[in-house]
RNA sequence: CGGGGUGUAGCGCAGCUUGGCAGCGCGUUUGGUUCGGGACCAAAAGGUCAAGGGUUCAAAUCCCUUCACCCCGACCA
């Protein structure tokens, strides 16, 4: 392809809408154009990269034995009523009516459709195991789309679903997908790592997220250098056996703390450190109020709390509800409250702490949680932070940021039961299939590749997903007819050797061409110009390393092949 | 949904406080000079100043309403 024949444009200025490097570069280099919040047009260059990522995913899925299918993006709401997720997904699902006034949704995911499909298709254990996948557009009405393709309202996802005769068999399918994911991200040039993850409203017992480490990532990842434990901050646990509290404990005593609403203010008013405050919060678990308590300097982790409560909707109660069931906001305490109380395990053995007195403007000091509070359950509900101890080996934990590019779930029978996806076993009994589901955000992965591969001049594409493997700059074309001929021949030769090449044949000054080539970021840059031709060759430059060499014309193809293979 | 901010040429922005001809840089077009890391000179095209309403002799500018977008938070396979 020649630049003069394309509609490709680059931007000199940074787009005002973009925050992170990969988003700025996607726009500046001309890979995507914003249509509206969270919606993007992929330019011809953008599509080329996208297709390369998709094909890597497709090849690895096929290699893992999965079968490609294509399901509709538009789905009848009935399927979602069957699974019960219509209400659960709620506002995050785009919904519309057809002219018959039937409610349709734009699929945010496809567990319902695929389970319904497989339930009709498979009836015998002989047809199992079976894994199907598709690469398709998903829709989610994100509250706040951001970072370009990272969190968009419409995006491309690869979603795969496995069906097995038993839990044990499902583990094998899960492992096959897990391994395929490792290969996929590696082939995309990504440094990704698998971490234990929360299953969220999709359900299921066990899951791993594949994270691309990047400071701009939206997720926190907890790591243990001692044993390799790694988990999403949403789910990460900690060892609390070492918690130290005062051994002495005076008589509980109310002290006035007028106007103190935050932990900091309360600590100041009582004259203790914030660590000695116990924070109490009322939550509504599927509408039922509960009280959660945690050390004042810690955050309650709502994902973990939701898991231990086993509810689907968990929200912080508003002030009115809090006052009605417990006590005044700001002076809320666990003592004497008639609600199920869930105490963070970090508070076990806590003595001489300060809680709200459930009296406006008062806190109680010298409280022993175990003596004064009727705890329904001791549970790990605090968010793990750097410096906490590993739940497995007690080493100190650290935190990194990551971009979630893939997620694998052991689903169990949540969907197969309600959609009656059952089969007849060899023993002639009817059994429910055990499912797994596996997603990769394809468009997000494309942007994540940039987030991990750029420098001050632009994108640095790995060869596997570079829009063109080679950018060929034609310089001095007006001065020297020979430059044009060499460019033309080289273009032809590269194409004949199966190497994608993009020729910058614009009537531009060399500086412009160099800048654009760096910005666009193809893996190898070849310059045809008088300078090198006089030495009998062309210049071959590796974008990533910056290495430049003049290669004799006869040796160019092998030299490029070698560079692309590295 | 709460808080903050921004809407002016394709892109990036000034002008708004204190009302008085619609501006700058980049990009685009034409001509010329230049030509190995985002050139220079000259000329030109390109605008419903987000939309609607109001105040005023006069509104990009002041007031009201609406919309869009961005940021923080809540939320989120």
**Largest Cα span, chain A:** 97
- Nucleotide minimizing C1' to CA distance for residue A36: B69
3-state SS assignment for residue A335: coil
Greater pLDDT, A14 or A441: A441
3-state SS, residue A243: coil
Taking CA atoms, A525 is separated from A43, A450, A530, A548, in Å, by: 21, 18, 16, 9
SS3 A48: helix
pLDDT grade for A249, boundaries at 50, 70 and 90: confident
The DSSP string of A458-476 is: EE---TTT-SSSEEEEE-S
Chain A residues 196-225 with Cβ under 7 Å of strand B are 198-202
Rounded, the Å distance between the CA of A188 and C1' of B36 is 33
**A 529-548, residues with C-beta < 7 Å of strand B:** 529-532, 539, 541
For the stretch A540-557, pLDDT in tens is 999 999 999 999 999 999
**Confidence bin at A205 (pLDDT 50/70/90):** low
Give the nucleotide with minimal C1' distance to the Cα of A209. Answer: B77
Q: Which nucleotide is nearest to A533 (CA to C1')?
A: B36
Q: Which CATH number fits domain A14-236+400-450: 3.40.50.720, 3.30.70.240, 3.30.930.10, 3.40.630.30?
A: 3.30.930.10
pLDDT digits 0-9 by tens, A274-333: 888 888 888 888 778 888 888 888 888 888 888 888 777 777 777 777 788 877 877 888
A13 is near strand B: CB distance < 7 Å: yes
Give A29-85 pLDDT, tens digit per residue.
Answer: 999 998 888 889 999 999 999 999 999 999 999 999 999 999 999 999 999 999 988
Burial A399-408 (b: 16+ CB within 10 A, else e): bbbbbbbbbb
Two structure tokens written together for A438: 């596996």
Q: Does domain A253-379 have CATH number 3.90.960.10?
A: yes
d(CA A187, C1' B56) / Å? 67
β-strand pairing of A397-412 with A219-224:
antiparallel
What is the distance between the alpha carbons of residues A195 and A185, in angstroms, rounded to a whole number?
14
HSE-up (13 A, CA, CB side) for residue A228: 2
Q: Tell me how long chain A is.
A: 566
pLDDT value at residue A202: 59
Of A233 and A249, which is predicted with more confidence?
A233
Express each pLDDT in A414-439 by its tens digit.
Answer: 999 999 999 999 999 999 999 999 99
Lowest mean pLDDT of A21-25, A349-353, A494-498, A560-564, name the range.
A349-353
Q: Which residues have a Cβ under 8 Å from the Cβ of A318 and sit 6 or more positions away?
A: none
Please answer whether residues A142 and A154 qualify as being in contact, where contact means their C-beta atoms are separated by less than 8 angstroms: no
Q: Which of A165-169, A265-269, A282-286, A397-401 has the highest mean pLDDT?
A: A165-169
What gap in Å lies between CA A49 and CA A55, rounded to an integer? 10
Give me the A residues in range 293-332 that sit within 7 A (CB) of strand B.
Answer: 302, 313, 315-316
Mark residues 253-282 of chain A whose C-beta is closer than 7 A to nucleic acid strand B: none
CB of residue A133 closer than 7 A to nucleic acid strand B?
Answer: no
> So what's the pLDDT on residue A204?
63
Q: Which class is domain A468-565?
A: alpha beta
Provide the positions of strand B that have an atom within 7 A of a protein CB.
1, 11-13, 25-27, 34-39, 68-77
Task: Supply φ then ψ for residue A284, to 5 degrees.
Answer: -110, 115
Q: Residue A271 pLDDT more than 80? A: yes
**A407 C-beta less than 7 Å away from strand B:** yes
In chain A, where the domains are located = 14-236+400-450, 253-379, 468-565
pLDDT at position A301 is: 85
Residue closest to B10 C1′ by Cα: A11
Out of A210-219, A321-330, A351-360, A551-560, least confident range: A321-330
Q: Is the CB of A16 under 7 A from strand B?
A: yes
Give the model's pLDDT for residue A346.
Answer: 87
Q: 3-state SS of A93-115?
A: CEEEECCCCCEEEECCCCHHHHH
Those residues whose C-beta lies under 8 Å from the C-beta of residue A469, and which sit 6 or more positions away, are A463, A499, A500, A501, A522, A523, A524, A560, A564
**Strand B closer than 7 A to residue A4 Cβ:** no
Query: Angle A254-A255-A259 (CA atoms, 0-180°, nearest 5)?
Result: 125
The answer to whether strand B lies under 7 Å from the CB of residue A515 is yes
Looking at chain A, the whole-number percentage of residues with pLDDT higher than 90 is 56
């Amino acid at each position: 392809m020649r630049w003069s024949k394309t509609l490709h444009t680059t931007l000199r200025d940074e787009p005002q809408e973009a925050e992170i490097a990969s988003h700025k570069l996607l726009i500046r280099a001309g890979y995507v154009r914003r249509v509206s919040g969270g919606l993007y047009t992929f330019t011809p260059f953008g599509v080329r990269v996208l297709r390369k990522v998709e094909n890597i995913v497709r090849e690895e899925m096929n290699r893992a034995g999965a079968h490609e299918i294509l399901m509709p993006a538009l789905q009848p709401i009935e399927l979602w009523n069957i699974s019960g997720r219509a209400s659960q997904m709620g506002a995050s699902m785009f919904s519309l009516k057809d002219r018959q006034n039937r409610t349709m949704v734009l699929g945010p995911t496809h567990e319902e459709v695929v389970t319904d499909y497989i339930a009709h298709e498979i009836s015998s254990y002989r047809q199992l195991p079976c894994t199907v996948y598709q690469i398709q557009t998903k829709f989610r009405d994100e509250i706040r789309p951001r970072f370009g393709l990272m969190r968009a309202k419409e995006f491309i996802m690869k979603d795969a679903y496995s069906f097995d005769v038993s839990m044990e068999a499902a583990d094998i399918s899960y492992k096959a997908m897990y391994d395929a994911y490792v290969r996929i991200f590696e082939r995309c040039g990504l440094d990704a790592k698998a971490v234990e993850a929360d299953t969220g409203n999709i359900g299921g017992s066990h899951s791993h997220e594949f994270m691309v480490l990047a400071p701009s990532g939206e997720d926190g990842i907890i790591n243990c250098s001692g044993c390799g434990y790694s988990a999403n901050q949403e789910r990460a646990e900690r060892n609390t056996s070492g918690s130290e509290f005062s051994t002495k404990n005076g008589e509980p005593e109310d002290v006035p703390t007028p106007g103190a609403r935050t932990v900091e203010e309360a600590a100041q008013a009582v004259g203790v450190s914030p660590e000695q405050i116990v924070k109490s919060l009322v939550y509504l678990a599927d509408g039922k109020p509960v009280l959660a308590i945690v050390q004042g300097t810690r955050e309650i982790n709502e994902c973990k709390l939701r898991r231990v409560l086993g509810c689907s909707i968990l929200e912080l109660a508003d002030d009115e509800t809090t006052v009605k069931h417990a006590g005044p906001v700001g002076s809320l305490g666990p003592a004497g409250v008639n609600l199920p109380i869930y105490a963070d395990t970090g508070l076990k053995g806590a003595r001489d702490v300060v809680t709200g007195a459930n009296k406006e403007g008062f806190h109680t000091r010298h409280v022993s949680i175990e003596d004064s509070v009727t705890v329904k359950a001791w549970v790990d509900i605090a968010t793990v932070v750097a410096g906490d101890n590993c739940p497995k080996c007690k080493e100190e934990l650290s935190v990194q940021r990551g971009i979630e590019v893939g997620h694998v779930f052991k689903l169990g029978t949540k969907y197969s039961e309600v959609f009656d996806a059952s089969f007849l076993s060899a023993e002639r009994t009817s059994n429910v299939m055990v499912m797994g589901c596996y997603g990769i955000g394809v468009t997000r992965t494309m942007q994540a590749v940039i987030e991990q591969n750029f420098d001050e001049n632009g994108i640095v594409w790995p060869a596997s997903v570079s829009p063109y493997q080679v950018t060929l700059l034609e310089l001095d074309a007006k001065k020297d007819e020979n430059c044009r001929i060499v460019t033309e021949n080289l273009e032809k030769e590269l194409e004949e050797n199966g190497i994608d090449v993009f020729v910058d044949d614009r009537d531009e000054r060399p500086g412009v061409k160099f800048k654009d080539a760096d910005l666009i970021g193809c893996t190898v840059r070849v310059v045809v110009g008088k300078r090198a031709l006089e030495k009998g060759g062309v210049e071959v430059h590796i974008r990533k390393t910056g290495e430049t060499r003049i290669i004799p014309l006869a040796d160019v193809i092998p030299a490029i092949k070698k560079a692309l293979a590295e």
